[in-house]
Amino acid sequence: MSHEYDAIVVGGGHNGLTHAAYLAKAGLRTLVLEKNDLVGGAAITEELLPGFNFTTFSYALSLLRPEIIHELNLVEHGFLPLMMPSSFHPTGDGDYLLFGDDHAQNLQEVRRHSPRDADAYERYHRDLDRVCQAIRPLFDNAPPNVFGNDPDDAADVKWLMDHLGGIDRKTMHDVVRLLTGSAKDWLDDYFEHEAIKGYHASSSIIGSKVGPMSPGSGLVLLFHKMGEHDGHLGSWAFHKGGNGGFTQVLARAAQAYGAEIRLGAPVTSVLTDGGRAVGVALEDGTEFRAQVVVSALDPRRTFLELVEPRELPLDLVDNIRRMKFRGVSAKVNFALDGLPVFPALPDTVDHYGGFLNIGPTIEYIERAFDAAKYGWYSEQPFIDAAIQSVVDPDMAPPGKHVMSCFVQYAPYELRGSDWETERQAFGDKAQAVLESHFPGFGDLVLHREVVTPVDIETRTGLTEGNIFAGEFLAPQMYFFRPAPGWSQYATPIEGYYQCGSGTHPGGCVIGSPGRLASARVLKDLKR
Amino acid sequence: MIRTTPFHARLSELNDQQLYTHWQGTLSPMRYSHAPKHEYFAVRNSAGVFDTSPLYKYAVTGPDAERLLSGALVRDIRTCRPGQAQYTAWCDDRGFVMHDGVAFRHSTDDFLLTAGRPALSWFQELAAGLRVELEDVTDDYGMLAVQGPRSRAVLAELMPEAEKLGYFDHVPAKVADAGVTLSRTGYTGDLGFEITVPADDALAVLDAVLEAGRPHSIRPFGEEALMTLRIEAGLPLVDVEWHDARLAFSDADCVTPKELGFGWMLRGVRDGSRRFVGSDAIRRELVDGTSRWATTGIVVDPEDWDRLYREADLFPPKSEHPWPYESMVLDEDRVEVGYCTSFVYSPVLQRHIGIARVRPDLAAAGTALRLELAINHHNTTVRVTTTSMPFFDPERKKA
C-alpha cells in the first residue's frame, strides 16, 4: 500500500471523519489515522456487556449542521436520528416538569406550576430563537480574519459588519446579554418558578467550569440552543445505535468517497521540511507523506505536541498554553434490569423518552458547581441522564435498558486525591442522587461504568477531559478560537491545518469545524 | 352514534389525547400521545400497532368467486394462490379507478376483500347470475396492523408462523386461544403484519400483542404517523391521490390505474388477453398512449428549501405532518405541468418528499421541476426532482 496521499487527517473523531469525507469527495487521496481501534473519538458506542450498548462519552445529537447530512449523503450510509419525544425534569419535591412534542401541551405543563410563566415560556423561546437566527450566519461560516490586511479579509469583515448592522436592537442586546451574562440573569427576566428556571439552566453549564450564576453560562446555553432536530431549534435526538452509530455512518460516507481509514495508528508528530508540512510519523516510526496534514485533535495537541512549538510564533504558543480546558464532566453509565420508577408517574414510561434532567433548581446546580471551584466533585451532582434503549430498543436486550448519565461537576484535577482513588466514591454519589429521585434504582443496576475526566483524556485524547476541546469562554470563541489570528483553520506551518472542535464554532457532535476546515484546505489547493 | 372498533375499549385507554377522525364513520385515533412522530419512529425503528378495522371487509365465496373477482379487479386474481394476498383496485367502465383494497385468498373459492369505501352493491351487480355469495363482514372482524422492524420478533413469540411468512402471504394462526389470520401485509412500507381476528376475540389478541411487544418498545400509532409512513412508502390514498370515479363530478378528478402508478397491475391488458370492468378503455389508453398523467415521486432540493425560508427571515420548516392541500408542479418556465397530491418531510430520509402527477413526458426519474408553495403570503417555487417510489424501501420489508 502506498504511503503517499494528498491529505492526511490526524484523528478519526467525528470532525476528522467529516473533514476527510469532504476532502475525499473533492477528489483528494485522503488518509485518516486514528489512534484507537474504533473510529469516533468521543462519539463511540461500546458493547460492555453482551447486548448492552453504552455511549461511553457523547450520547445525543443536536448540533450537527444539517448541511452536512445532505452534502455527504449521510442518509444513504445509515444516518437515522431518532427524535427524543420528551424531556423530564424532577422538581425535587416529588413533582416534575414533563415536556414533549406538543407546544400547547407544554404550555399547560408550565402553567400547572406557574400561570405567570406560561406566556413567559412563549416569549422566552421566541426571543432565544431570534438570537439563534441572528447569529447563525456567524456560527456556520469561518470567522473573518479581523487581524488580516488582504482584500479578502476586508471583504469578510465587511460581510460581518453588514450582517451585525442588520440585526434589530432588541435581538442584538439579547445576543450580548447571552454571550456575556449568566444563565440565571437571563432566565430571571422571564420566569418566576425555580424549577422552570432550573430546567432551562441545565444546558448552560454542560461541559463547562461555570455555574448557572456565573457570567459566561449564557454563552453555553446559547451554544446548545443552536442545535436542532428536523428544524426544531434546541431539540435533540438519539442517533440509531448511539453516537457511535453516527460516527460509523460518517466513516462509511468517508470511505464511500474514497478516504482510507487506519485504526490503531497513533500519530506522534507532523513531519516538516523547510517550514512546510510534508507528512506524519506514527508511534512505531511508520511515515506517511502528504502535502496537506490536518489535525482533528485539540489545540494543545495540534500546536504543542504534534509539531515543535519553536516552529510557531511565540504569541500563538502562549495563547495555546493558557487556553482553558479544565474538564468538569464525567459519565456514569448503567446497564439496568428494568426501567426506574418515578413515584409520581408509576405506570408510564413516556417520561423516559429523552433527557432526564436531575438539577431541580438553579441553586441546586450552582451548589453542585461550588465544590468544583475548590477542586472537589459535587456531593449532589447535576445529572443529564438518558435511557436510550426506550427509544432505540437495539441498545439493550429486550426488556433491559442502558442509561447514560452525564454527571457534573467532576473537576479534572482533584485537590488532595486523584480520580483512580475517587472513581467508585464518585459513582456512588451519582447513584445516590438517582436513588433519591427513583427509589429502588440501585436494585436495577446490572453494571456500572464510571468514566472520569482522566478517562476522557486518556481514551479520547481530549486535554484535561474537556469535552469541547477547549472551554466555551468568550475569549476562546469565534475569531479567538483557538487563538487570535488562527481561527481560519490554517496554522503558521504551510500545509498544516486544524479541523477539531477546538476551532470555530466549537464542540459537541457538530461537524462544522471539519466542514469549514475542508473549505479552507480546498480553497488553498485551488480545488 | 359513531361506530367504534373491536379494539377501541383497550386502545382508548392507551390514548391520552382523545383526538379522533371519523374514518368511514368509525372513531380512529389521530395520535395516542403528544408526539405522533415518536409513534412514527416506533414503526421505523421498533414496532407499532395500528387499528385498521374501519376498512370494509367483504367475504366473497362460492364456485364463481374467482370469476367474479377476475372480472372486477384490476390485478389478475387468478395468479393469487390460496394463502396469498394481493393489493388491487377496481375501476368503472371508463377505466377510471374507484377503490383500492387487498384481496386475501383463503381457498379456491373463498376470498376476503378489504375496501376503503363501501362497494358491496357494485360487486353484487357484477355477480348477477354467478354462483357466488357476497357478504359484508366488516363488523365481524377486527384488523390489527403490527408494523416495524421488530414486528416479526414480537409476533413470532405468539405465532411461530410469523417467522417464515412471506411478503403478502397469510396463514391461519392462534393467539390467546383465538383463531386469526396472520398476513404479511400493511400500509407502512416496512416489515409488517396484519392480524384479522373475530371481533369477540379482538381484545384478548390485542393484549397478547401488546404484552409480547412491551420489551420491544411497541406502541400504538395513529393516523398522523400513518400518513408520514404511507407517503414514504409511496402508497396512494383514496380521496387524496384520487377520488372514486363513480362519485366524481369531473374527469379531472378521475384517474386511470396507469395514471395512478398502477401500471404494474395491468399485465395482459394491452394484448387483450385479460378482461375486467374498464379494461377496454385502459387497453385503448395503453395502445394509443393517451394517459394524461404519470404518477411520480418528487424530492425537494434541501438547499433551495432552506434558502427560500432563510431569505424570508423564517426558519425552514421540516414537518412530518403532510400538507393538507394539493400544490402545483411547474416546469423551469413556471408553466403548470402537474400537481402534488401528498407532501411531507420524511424524518428517515431527511428530505421533503411528495407524490405527484405530472405530464407523462416529464416523469422520467431525475427530471428537474418546481413545486409551488407560499412563503410569507407570496407564491414562490422550490426546486424538486422526480424520483421513483417507494421513497423509503428497506430490505426488511420483503426479506
| Set of chain B residues whose Cβ sits within 8 Å of the Cβ of A105 | 34
How far lies B122's CA from each of B22, B92, B249, in Å?
Answer: 24, 10, 19
Smallest Cβ–Cβ distance between A393 and the set B38, B150, B345 belongs to B150
B385 and B317 within one domain? yes
Write down the ipTM of this complex. Answer: 0.95
What was the pLDDT predicted at A527? Answer: 86
What was the pLDDT predicted at A150? Answer: 87
The β-bridge relationship of strands B219-220 and B48-51 is parallel
How far lies B236's CA from each of B90, B100, B227, B249, B297, in Å?
Answer: 14, 9, 10, 21, 11
SS3 annotation, A1-12:
CCCEEEEEEECC
Rounded distance between C-alpha atoms, residue A205 and residue B292, angstroms: 61
What was the pLDDT predicted at A2? Answer: 53
Residues 271-330 in A contacting B (C-alpha not used; CB under 8 Å)? none
B268, part of any domain? yes
SS3 annotation, chain B:
CCECCCCHHHHHHCCCCCEEEEECCEEEEEECCCCHHHHHHHHHHCCEEEECCCCEEEEEECCCHHHHHHHHECCCHHHCCCCEEEEEEEECCCCCEEEEEEEEEEECCEEEEEECCCCHHHHHHHCCCCCCEEEECHHHEEEEEEECCCHHHHHHHHCHHHHCCCCCEEEEEEECCEEEEEECCCCCCCCEEEEEEEHHHHHHHHHHHHHHHHHHCCEECCHHHHHHHHHHCCCCCECCCECCCCCCCCHHHCCCCCCCCCHHHCCCCCCCCCCCCCHHHHHHHHHHCCCCCEEEEEEECHHHHHHHHHHCCCCCCCCCCCCCCCEEEECCCCCEEEEEEEEEEECCCCEEEEEEEECHHHCCCCCEEEEEEEECCEEEEEEEEEECCCCCCCHHHCC
B280 and B302 within one domain? no
Helices A14-25 and A512-524 cross at an angle (nearest 10°) of 40
B269, part of any domain? yes
Full domain range(s) for residue B315 = 294-396
Q: Cβ distance A179 to A138 under 8 Å?
A: no
The β-bridge relationship of strands A52-54 and A46-49 is antiparallel
The β-bridge relationship of strands B170-175 and A46-49 is unpaired
CA of A158, closest CA in chain B: separation in Å? 19
| Set of chain A residues whose Cβ sits within 8 Å of the Cβ of B215 | 393, 398-399
Rounded distance between C-alpha atoms, residue B353 and residue B342, angstroms: 8
- The secondary structure of residue A294, as a DSSP letter, is E
What was the pLDDT predicted at A133? Answer: 96
B387 and B272 within one domain? no
Say yes or no for a CB contact (<8 Å) between A230 and B313.
no
Last residue of a domain, one of B177, B205, B221: B221
Contacts of residue A9, defined as CB under 8 A and 6 or more positions apart, other chains included, come to A16, A19, A20, A23, A30, A31, A32, A33, A294, A296, A499
How far lies A88's CA from each of A37, A122, A129, B69, in Å?
Answer: 36, 19, 22, 55
Q: How many CB atoms lie within 10 A of CB B195?
A: 29
Q: Which of B200, B199, B197 shows the shortest CA–CA distance to B209? A: B197
Contacts of residue B134, defined as CB under 8 A and 6 or more positions apart, other chains included, come to B58, B59, B60, B120, B123, B124, B127
B179, part of any domain? yes
Which position has the grid cell 402553567?
A111
What was the pLDDT predicted at A1? Answer: 45
B75, part of any domain? no
Last residue of a domain, one of B233, B264, B288: B288
In CATH, what number is assigned to the domain containing residue B379?
2.40.30.110
SS3 A149: coil
B213 and B318 within one domain? no
SS3 A335: strand
The alpha carbon torsion through A442, A443, A447, A450 (nearest 10 deg) reads 0
What is the identity of the amino acid at A239? Answer: H
What was the pLDDT predicted at A429? Answer: 98
Q: Please indicate if any CB of chain B lies within 8 Å of the CB of A166.
A: no
Say yes or no for a CB contact (<8 Å) between A399 and B302.
no
Determine which helix (DSSP H) or strand (DSSP E) holds A115, and give its type and residue range.
helix A115-139
CA of A102, closest CA in chain B: separation in Å? 5
How far lies B326's CA from each of A168, A307, B362, in Å?
Answer: 37, 60, 19
The alpha carbon torsion through A146, A152, A158, A163 (nearest 10 deg) reads -90
| Set of chain B residues whose Cβ sits within 8 Å of the Cβ of A102 | 34-35
Q: Cβ distance B159 to B145 under 8 Å?
A: no
CA of A161, closest CA in chain B: separation in Å? 18
CA of B233, closest CA in chain A: separation in Å? 16
Q: Please indicate if any CB of chain B lies within 8 Å of the CB of A76.
A: no
A303's grid cell: 500546536
The β-bridge relationship of strands B97-107 and A52-54 is unpaired
Chain B residue with CA closest to A350: the answer is B33
Q: Distance between the two ends of chain B, CA-based, in angstroms?
A: 43
Rounded distance between C-alpha atoms, residue A488 and residue B27, angstroms: 59
Contacts of residue A92, defined as CB under 8 A and 6 or more positions apart, other chains included, come to A195, A360, A361, A364
Q: Cβ distance A65 to A140 under 8 Å?
A: yes
Residue of B31, B41, B216, B305 to mutate, testing the A interface (most A Cβ within 10 Å of its Cβ): B41
Rounded distance between C-alpha atoms, residue A370 and residue A210, angstroms: 9
How far lies A456's CA from each of A239, A300, A489, B40, B88, in Å?
Answer: 21, 15, 25, 36, 58
Q: How many CA atoms lie within 13 A of B378 on its CB side?
A: 7
In CATH, what number is assigned to the domain containing residue B207?
3.30.1360.120
Say yes or no for a CB contact (<8 Å) between A75 and B349.
yes
**CA B186 to mean position of chain CA atoms:** 8
B156 and B305 within one domain? no
- pLDDT < 70 regions, chain A: 1-2
B104, part of any domain? no
How far lies B327's CA from each of B330, B337, B343, in Å?
Answer: 10, 11, 9
B51 and B150 within one domain? yes
B382 and B298 within one domain? yes
B368 and B276 within one domain? no
Residue of B13, B217, B303, B352 to mutate, testing the A interface (most A Cβ within 10 Å of its Cβ): B217
Q: pLDDT tens, A27-41?
A: 999 999 999 999 999
A383's grid cell: 445529572
**CA B305 to mean position of chain CA atoms:** 28
| Set of chain A residues whose Cβ sits within 8 Å of the Cβ of B315 | 129, 133, 231, 233
pLDDT higher than 80, residue B151: yes
Q: pLDDT tens, B163-200?
A: 999 999 999 999 999 999 999 999 999 999 999 999 99
B51 and B157 within one domain? yes
B377 and B338 within one domain? yes
Cis peptide before A409 (omega within 30 of 0): yes
Rounded distance between C-alpha atoms, residue A287 and residue A270, angstroms: 10
Rounded distance between C-alpha atoms, residue B53 and residue B196, angstroms: 9
B105, part of any domain? no
Chain A residue with CA closest to B301: the answer is A70
- The secondary structure of residue A303, as a DSSP letter, is I
Q: Please indicate if any CB of chain B lies within 8 Å of the CB of A351.
A: no
Mean model confidence pLDDT for chain B: 97
CA of A200, closest CA in chain B: separation in Å? 21
Residues 104-143 in A contacting B (C-alpha not used; CB under 8 Å)? 105, 129, 133
CA of A400, closest CA in chain B: separation in Å? 8
B29, part of any domain? yes
Residue of A69, A73, A74, A75 to mutate, testing the B interface (most B Cβ within 10 Å of its Cβ): A75
B193 and B153 within one domain? yes
- Domain count for chain B, please give it: 3
**CA A161 to mean position of chain CA atoms:** 28
Residue of A76, A82, A390 to mutate, testing the B interface (most B Cβ within 10 Å of its Cβ): A82
Say yes or no for a CB contact (<8 Å) between A85 and B35.
yes
B308, part of any domain? yes
B119's grid cell: 362497494
B352 and B281 within one domain? no
